[in-house]
Amino acid sequence: MKTLLIVDDEPRTRLGIQKTLVAWAAGKYRIECAASGVEALEWLKTNPVQILITDVRMPEVDGLQMLEALAKRGPLPVVIVISGYAEFEYAKKSLQLGAFDYILKPLDKAALIDTVQRAFERDSGKDRLDAMEKLVDPKLLEVGRDEARYGTAIKDAIAFIYGHLHEAITMKQVAEQLHLNASYFSVLFKEQTGVTFSDYLTRIRLQKAKELLVATRLPVWEIAEKVGYQTVKYFIKVFKDNEGMSPRQYRQQAADENPSIQ
């Protein structure tokens, strides 16, 4: 269950927000409270939250100081800041620190609920992005970061691979396309990308396969064809060797972890 934490030193405001959001959430979300920035920072050491609502003006540790401290620990949750008109400069600074939005006092229930709904939508979007990022092969990310420094031949080779991924591509075929000797092309590719041609091709095929397994309901045999494998049996073998599980198991695991992607 996703958690929202309300941080405010004024009991009436804090409990009023909690009462409003508990009624709105109807058990869908966990709504917690902290009476100060100090209490919140301590509570957050052992309790992850998706949404954080905080007042800016509090004794000891104010809302901005709390956000700065949290940012040092890692990525911030989706933050909503409460401020009065006289504290508008605080609200602006909170946005610079990464806050999602702010609400002015006196609080309007409809505006509060609307902002919280949008905050949970933002959090769901972050979940989907995080899930998709897990699909990406770290080695491919590394290769991609250096692509601007590649020579024309290697850039053209990579473009050819992407454009013909559904075909049975060979290194000799790509070298001929570029009018290069296959042995020379092999050395050049490894030299510039840091991986062999066959390793790169396999990684690209499996990357595309993982995306299709998670984002579509296509049968495994059809995905195998779309990423250039002549037989589904060989595709499954290569997938297992690299991912430690079958394509079906991978799809199921992704669905269990992030059903919203389906």
Contact 65, 59 (CB under 8 A): no
Distances (CA, A) of 75 to 46, 65, 79, 107, 126: 15, 15, 11, 27, 11
Q: Report the pLDDT value the prediction gives residue 27, as an integer from 0 to 100.
A: 92
Of 160, 166, 155, 152, the C-alpha closest to 212 is: 166
Q: Which CATH class is domain 138-261?
A: mainly alpha
What is the CATH architecture assignment of 3-132?
3-Layer(aba) Sandwich (3.40)
pLDDT of residue 133: 61
CB 254 within 8 A of CB 246: no
User: Are both 3-132 and 138-261 of the same fold?
Assistant: no
Contact 8, 14 (CB under 8 A): yes
Q: What is the pLDDT along the chain (262 residues), one digit of tens a residue?
A: 899 999 999 999 999 999 999 999 999 999 999 999 999 999 999 999 999 999 888 888 888 888 888 888 888 889 998 887 666 676 667 776 778 888 888 889 999 999 999 999 888 777 655 655 666 777 887 787 777 789 999 999 998 998 898 999 999 999 999 999 999 999 999 999 999 999 999 999 998 898 888 878 899 999 999 999 999 999 999 999 998 999 999 888 877 665 443 3
Residue 189 in tokens:
């590719």
Whether the model pTM is above 0.85: no
Q: Whose CA is closest to 53, among 74, 27, 76?
A: 76
pLDDT at res. 206: 93
Q: Enumerate residues 6+ apart whose C-beta is below 8 A from 258.
A: 127, 128, 131
Strands 30-34 and 51-55 turn out to be unpaired
- Six-digit token pair at 236? 């499954």
Do residues 169 and 228 lie in contact, with contact meaning Cβ atoms separated by under 8 Å?
A: yes
Phi then psi dihedrals of residue 82, to 5 deg: -105, 130
- What's the pLDDT score for residue 54? 92
Specify burial of residue 79 (Cβ count, 10 A radius: 0-12, 13-18, 19+).
Answer: buried
- Domains of the chain by residue range: 3-132, 138-261
